[in-house]
Amino acid sequence: MAKNKKELYKTPIASNMTVREASAYWDSHSFFEFDDVQEVNFDVELEGEKHYVLLDKDVAKKVEILSHKKKEPQHILVNELLKQSLRKVA
């Protein structure tokens, strides 16, 4: 005999899903299928504006390598390096 709809959707959520797996999961599931879901409210403050610049291929590769080595996001590293360079020429 077929299970009722609520029992069918009691699939546990894996904590180690990739983004693609999580996307596929939520394409076929709803938060309303779970008993322990609570509504939450929070504020988000976005900082600054984004401006995009093209980097030379070799420069971009060096930034990628240094970013990985320092375990620092590339955008933060690039901003720090540019600030240092701009202080020198100002």
Query: Would you mind telling me the total number of residues written for the chain in this entry?
Result: 90
Q: Is 2 exposed, middle or buried (0-12, 13-18, 19+ CB in 10 A)?
A: exposed
Q: What is the pTM of this model?
A: 0.46
d(CA 22, CA 17): 6
Q: Which residues contact 47 (CB under 8 A, 6 or more apart)?
A: none
d(CA 8, CA 38): 21
pLDDT in tens, 18-62: 889 888 888 888 877 877 778 889 898 887 888 899 999 999 999
pLDDT in tens, 11-28: 567 778 888 988 888 888
| Token representation of residue 60 | 């971009």
Domain spans, the chain: 57-89
Residue 31: DSSP 8-state? G
